[in-house]
Amino acid sequence: MSEQYNPRILGFLCNWCCYAAADAAGVSRFQYPPNLRTIRVMCTGRVDPAFIFRGFIEGADGIFTGG
């Protein structure tokens, strides 16, 4: 059996929408893959493109921004 690809994904979540939605997903017990590590920001407008580059440098296989 081939090894499953397990990407490490870094997420920037807006406090008001995506972070709240992620909470709601939890309350509703929706199950999703555990590959995401999140950073809460007050708005995705806070996300400097440099954060994204740094995320890749630090080994992220993908970057998710939810806002």
- In single-letter form, the type of residue at position 32 comes to Y
CA-based torsion, 51, 52, 54, 60: positive or negative: positive
Site size toward another protein, by CB under 8 A: 37
Query: Under rule CB under 8 A, which residues in 17-46 are in contact with another protein?
Result: 19-20, 22-32, 34, 36-43, 45-46
Q: Do residues 54 and 25 make contact, with C-beta atoms less than 8 angstroms apart?
A: no
Where is 63: in which H helix or E strand? strand 62-66
Residue whose CB is less far from another protein, 2 or 4:
4
Q: Applying CB under 8 A, which residues contact another protein?
A: 8, 10, 15, 19-20, 22-32, 34, 36-43, 45-49, 51, 54-55, 57-60
